[in-house]
Amino acid sequence: MTTKKLLFIILAVTLAALALPFVYRPAATTQPGPGLPWEVEALADGNSRVFGLVLGKSTLAETTERLHFEPQLAIIAGAEGEAGTLEAYFDSVSLGFITGKMVVTASLSPEALLAMQKRAVKMESQASGAHRFVLGKADWQVASVARINSISLLPSASLDEAIVLSRFGRPSERLKTSETNEHFLYPERGLDVSLDSQGKNVLQYVPPAQFSRLREPLVKRQ
């Protein structure tokens, strides 16, 4: 084989390889990704859709399926005998090119929550004085039908003011709760972006109609 012919073959193979990505397209997946943190859709009924989940309607089972990760379940109660709040903790979530940890709260009847506390595999005392009841897998069937009412995302990547304004837009209000902590409030999306120069950044989502749940505690801390 002549050198000229060999170079021609190498060139033809190279051009074919370069063209392959434009010719071949992988089949679309039946399950879309969960979406990005700034992709929040306010709904007419006062709820919102974020990460493909509708706050106030989607269940914990749907949340787990959407995030492809099994959470740790716990009940956070402020005092002994209090029903508390059901939380699902996701140690690792992938939201497009964003990764982090996530805490989802969900609604169950006080009777169901108190019964689950009695079956808890462990009780942990929190610095705030609250109690954290860690639940076993036996309670997943009950918890799975609970409707989610808030999402807190702790992104792995650090955020700053420029990134927040670029991705989320100008907030309706900015509140400083300490020398290092500032909250960017987006009531129309039910979103609070908390930036702390010495701690973790947190994105909190609630139904827009219930935005006072996020804002009122911040005003009291000023």
Has residue 31 been placed in a domain? no
pLDDT for the residue 16: 36
pLDDT for the residue 53: 97
CA distance 168 to 151: 17
pLDDT for the residue 32: 54
Has residue 29 been placed in a domain? no
Has residue 203 been placed in a domain? yes
Structural domains of the chain, count: 1
pLDDT for the residue 81: 87
Has residue 6 been placed in a domain? no
CA distance 218 to 57: 26
pLDDT for the residue 142: 92
Closest CA to 176 of 146, 197, 155, 156: 197
Q: Which residues contact 215 (CB under 8 A, 6 or more apart)?
A: 173, 175, 185, 187, 192
Task: Name the residue range of residue 182's domain.
Answer: 36-221
pLDDT for the residue 198: 87
pLDDT for the residue 33: 64
pLDDT for the residue 19: 32
What predicted TM-score, i.e. pTM, was given to this entire model? 0.82
Has residue 26 been placed in a domain? no
pLDDT for the residue 199: 81
Closest CA to 104 of 74, 80, 65: 74
Residue ranges in the chain whose pLDDT is less than 50: 2-31
